[in-house]
Structure 1
Amino acid sequence: MTATDRVRAPAGTVVGRRTGPVRRFLGIPYAEAPVGVRRFAAPVPRGRFREPYDASRHGATAQRVPLFATTTIPEPSVPGEDVLNLGVVAPAGADRCPVLVWIHGGGFLAGSPASPWYDGRSLARAGIVTVTVGYRLGVDGFAPLDGVPANLGLRDVLLALDWVRENIAAFGGDPGRVTLAGQSAGGAAVLALLSSPAAEGRFQQAVSISGGLFEVRRDSARDFLERVGERLGVPATRDGFGGVPVEQLQRTVRDLRDGEALVLGPVTGDDILPVTVAEGLAGHGLGVPVLLGSTGDEFDGGGDGASAARAAGTRITDTLFRAACPRVARSRREADAGTWLYSFEWPSPVTGGATHCADLPFFFDLLDAPGVREALGPRPPAELAAPIHADLVGFVHGRPPSWAPATGGPGDPLREYGRPGAPPAADTTGGYDPVLPVPPVLPARPALPAAPSDAEAR
């Protein structure tokens, strides 16, 4: 049974919903709408609500145009201008509970915080407050334009973290126990902010799921933006793009990327990312415990040749995703806090491998969420969700993982989840050998396969 719920916070009175032991407050603006003169400007904190704010449904999303007609994770687009909003899911009766702040993925071009795969109901039952953050995407969030602050999407997340610090206690969360977490581009954003001097003190722990050390070269991004401007018939400038509706911009970016990897994303050389992420990790966030890992196959699908390809070090998965894990551990080897690695190895019967996004319903313990059966088959194993979810819950609660931390060298310890023929969770070593270089590109999230024989997943 669902009932109205009300919270009085420093931001104002927020009216949400309570269903059993779970409270939801959705679509809460943390910044002024990024429209007009604010479209290509740093985010401005939202003023205090003068009237009770209706937080009963998801807010507007920055995504207007998904990258594909069908994606592994359901990613609804919600119309509206107030895209800089967040959702809070909390346990009823919560008091000083740890907080998980979630950054969605989507290649920095798409994705939606309104996905049912990110609902925090299972985390709430484990005594955790979940905050899902919307941030600007594509040209509006990550275009390095003259006269525009760089990394606007990351600046949005930083402001959302400020909102959490000031308001989350009213929802039962502890502002001094915040874990910043994300997957894919969201996981890469976590690592970028972990490396940033501007983010110091804003979160106490970090989780990067299938993230990476991904930065876009300014000259490459500007070359791509010139192509976008040419297609639209406008100069590739703040004023030129400012006169183009967001939906039209996103459609043009989607059409022109034509299978290219990362066309827009974080850039270095500003106050947010003064140096590369790998360099920044050696000097910032060293007191922040980090949990990170990848799926075994990511974008390479599965099949009999997967293990041989992985050993040969020729796969996209190895060079783009898996190699980032020991590199992060190596950058942080002098850290006061530990770095723990995991690898998700369960092969989805739909894609034939442990592919990109397949681990999320296990981390969130949402095997009954919409779209899960289409991506993972009719019977995703609950016995696998139990240890994965428990490890995430324990980490957010501040308990160090039970396996040894990594240092980025050969034979690093890690926890494997779901390897066929092994227990659901097993501690091992060397799963990230050999250490491979990470090129500064990120593959697009492919669409969900139309049939089980199709190997790629989003």
Structure 2
Amino acid sequence: MTEGPVAQTAEGPVRGIRRDDGSTAFLGIPYAAAPTGKRRFQPPQPVTPWTDPLDATAYGPTPQRREEDNAIIPEPSVPGAGILNLNVFTPGLAERTGGAPVLVWIHGGGYSAGSAASPWYDGGAFARDGIVLVSISYRLGFDGFGIIPGVPDNRGVRDWIAALEWVQRNIASFGGDPGRVTIAGQSAGGGAVLTLFGMPGAQHLFRAGISISGALGDLPRSLAAERSELLAELAGCEPTLEGFRSVKERQLTRRQYRASLLGKTGLAATTATLVDGLPWGPVIDDQLILRPTAESFAAGVGAHKPLMLGATDDEFTMVFDRAPWFLRFVPVSVALRVLEKAGALRRGWRRANRARRGAGSAMGRFVSDRIFRSLVVRLAEARRDAGTWVYRFAWRSPVNGWSHHCLDVPFWFDCLGSDGVAEVAGQHPPQSLADEMHAAAVAFVRDNDPGWPAWRTEPGMTRVFGDQPALSRSAYDDALPLV
């Protein structure tokens, strides 16, 4: 790599690095001031402008302070205070490329973990194909989504908005077109895309979206407040701004998951996400987020914007591979009672999934359908005549036999040779599948059409990405009982 050119932003010049693949990267650019001191727990604040070129050749600090033990995607943690930063990967600056389409990537991690510094999120392949990619950091867990009296809610959501506003101000200097911005993300990042689509106040910041295995927050404010109060009790402070500021960040992050369980233990704690939603995430606050996202979609919010969304076949089935040995002898009908109390729902889903004979396999697919796959259908239907394209990722990993959560990300990014891919996709994942999926993403970002019929044209029509990519009208029929 050689030293790259300088781009001028509204806040000051930044110096990136020109890479061997022909792209130019600008890493760790601050889009808001470090949320420390009096700025801690406040909405994102403007940065202090600078005059000398800022070194943008290494990833900036991450809100995630340590890697998750069971993380599938390698997402490094970088120490430091200036966590509200972003990365730009471009085929060239404005004088060379003109107004290229822009893809803004929001990482996943359940709104409590994850990092924009992952090698899987490198924008080299998108830059190769004429797209400017921006990956952003945002506050996580309680810092981003907890309730503090007198402080605005949804600070993590406000971080997304601040980063998108930075893109509007500055992306032309990096060769991008601020009028052709597509937002995209996976898991919590996919949920962020859906949340932004449902927010009337965010519509001017993007023109299209891609939600990959989107996991919605949509938490009731009362529930988030209850969890926040318990966190204060566990941390030994008052549930006030002064109280939370008196506690070190690490003390809060170490206790925030326990606080989200509200005293549940054992099996109840294991199934808490199904019953109560994600531990932390976007809150229905009647200011930024006015109602559940599906209701916003049904009301027509974001209907004029193209959306591509989908899920993997078995998002979290691999979790049940580590279940106790005796689970294999438990009848499926009995095992499902752990996850769903409503008998009619269980029976309806069971009739649509007779092929799932083992309890672990059935429970894994039920969780996948409840959180992810049924949501795809629900939102596609809620958007009615809006431009919506649905996909399904059905390729199974040779490592564990499942088409699981996160497995599809290196295919979308066309980065099968990146660190950590072989551990989940085997030594020889099919490049032809990456070619198909990445091309669909590029076409959608460039032309707002991934190359197959939209849902409104042929309801149920889904592009299935598997061993043999195909079109199907029944790809999500087995999840319909939960819609």
Q: TM-score, normalised by structure 2?
A: 0.85
Partner of 1:284: 301
Distance in 2, matches of 1:216 and 1:313, equals 23
Mark the CA change 1:147 to 1:358 in structure 2 (over 3 Å): closer, same or farther: same
Mark the CA change 1:311 to 1:56 in structure 2 (over 3 Å): closer, same or farther: same
Q: How many equivalent residue pairs? A: 430
Q: CA deviation at 1:437?
A: 3.9
Q: 2:446 aligns with which of 391, 397, 417?
A: 397
For residue 211 of structure 2, give the secondary structure of its aligned residue in structure 1.
Answer: strand
More relative contact order, 1 or 2 (CA 8 Å, 6+ apart): 1
Partner of 1:136: 139
Mark the CA change 1:436 to 1:55 in structure 2 (over 3 Å): closer, same or farther: farther
Distance in 1, matches of 2:247 and 2:149, equals 17
Distance in 2, matches of 1:436 and 1:234, equals 45
For residue 361 of structure 1, give the secondary structure of its aligned residue in structure 2.
Answer: helix
Per-residue CA distance 1:301-337 (angstroms, 9 max, x = gap):
39999882499996100111001111111111143xx
Distance in 2, matches of 1:150 and 1:216, equals 12
For residue 182 of structure 1, give the secondary structure of its aligned residue in structure 2.
Answer: strand
Alignment of 1:400-439 (within 5 A): 400-407=449-456, 412-418=460-466, 420=467, 423=468, 425-433=469-477, 434-437=479-482
The answer to which structure has the higher helix fraction is 2
Could you tell me which runs of 5 or more consecutive residues in structure 1 were left unpaired when the two chains were aligned.
439-458
Stretch moving more, 361-370 or 342-351: 342-351
Per-residue CA distance 1:408-436 (angstroms, 9 max, x = gap):
99x60000001x4xx2x211111112424
Distance in 1, matches of 2:453 and 2:31, equals 38
Partner of 1:69: 69
Partner of 2:290: 274
Could you tell me which runs of 5 or more consecutive residues in structure 2 were left unpaired when the two chains were aligned.
262-268, 322-327, 333-352
The answer on whether the counterparts of 2:310 and 2:376 sit within 8 Å (CA) in structure 1 is yes
The answer on whether the counterparts of 2:221 and 2:285 sit within 8 Å (CA) in structure 1 is no
For residue 180 of structure 2, give the secondary structure of its aligned residue in structure 1.
Answer: strand
The answer on whether the counterparts of 2:64 and 2:77 sit within 8 Å (CA) in structure 1 is yes
Tell me, yes or no, if structure 1 residue 308 matches structure 2 residue 347. Answer: no
Q: CA deviation at 1:83?
A: 0.6
Per-residue CA distance 1:274-312 (angstroms, 9 max, x = gap):
111111123311111000000010001399998824999
The answer on whether the counterparts of 1:339 and 1:407 sit within 8 Å (CA) in structure 2 is yes
Alignment of 1:150-161 (within 5 A): 150-161=153-164
Partner of 1:106: 109
For residue 201 of structure 1, give the secondary structure of its aligned residue in structure 2.
Answer: helix
Tell me, yes or no, if structure 1 residue 240 matches structure 2 residue 243. Answer: yes
Mark the CA change 1:351 to 1:45 in structure 2 (over 3 Å): closer, same or farther: farther
Mark the CA change 1:55 to 1:413 in structure 2 (over 3 Å): closer, same or farther: same
Per-residue CA distance 1:48-85 (angstroms, 9 max, x = gap):
3222111010001111134x324110111111111110
Partner of 1:346: 395
Per-residue CA distance 1:116-135 (angstroms, 9 max, x = gap):
11000000000000000100
Distance in 2, matches of 1:195 and 1:201, equals 12
Partner of 1:13: 13
The answer on whether the counterparts of 2:88 and 2:135 sit within 8 Å (CA) in structure 1 is yes
Distance in 2, matches of 1:44 and 1:99, equals 24
Distance in 2, matches of 1:321 and 1:408, equals 23
Higher Rg of the two aligned structures: 2
RMSD: 2.3
Q: 1:359 aligns with which of 408, 421, 426?
A: 408
For residue 385 of structure 1, give the secondary structure of its aligned residue in structure 2.
Answer: helix
**AA at the equivalent of 1:347:** R
The answer on whether the counterparts of 1:412 and 1:430 sit within 8 Å (CA) in structure 2 is yes
Partner of 1:324: 375
Distance in 1, matches of 2:291 and 2:213, equals 22
Distance in 1, matches of 2:37 and 2:418, equals 37
Distance in 2, matches of 1:287 and 1:79, equals 40
Q: 1:296 aligns with which of 309, 313, 336?
A: 313
For residue 73 of structure 1, give the secondary structure of its aligned residue in structure 2.
Answer: coil
Mark the CA change 1:121 to 1:34 in structure 2 (over 3 Å): closer, same or farther: same
For residue 240 of structure 1, give the secondary structure of its aligned residue in structure 2.
Answer: helix
Distance in 2, matches of 1:394 and 1:307, equals 37
Mark the CA change 1:223 to 1:167 in structure 2 (over 3 Å): closer, same or farther: same
Distance in 1, matches of 2:7 and 2:79, equals 26
For residue 284 of structure 2, give the secondary structure of its aligned residue in structure 1.
Answer: coil
Distance in 2, matches of 1:255 and 1:348, equals 32
The answer on whether the counterparts of 1:144 and 1:267 sit within 8 Å (CA) in structure 2 is no
**AA at the equivalent of 2:295:** E
Distance in 1, matches of 2:224 and 2:363, equals 31
Partner of 1:251: 254
The answer on whether the counterparts of 1:206 and 1:290 sit within 8 Å (CA) in structure 2 is yes
Q: CA deviation at 1:407?
A: 4.4
Distance in 1, matches of 2:364 and 2:129, equals 39
Tell me, yes or no, if structure 1 residue 333 matches structure 2 residue 384. Answer: yes
Mark the CA change 1:239 to 1:312 in structure 2 (over 3 Å): closer, same or farther: closer
Distance in 1, matches of 2:365 and 2:209, equals 29
Q: CA deviation at 1:211?
A: 0.2
Identity %: 45
**AA at the equivalent of 1:210:** S
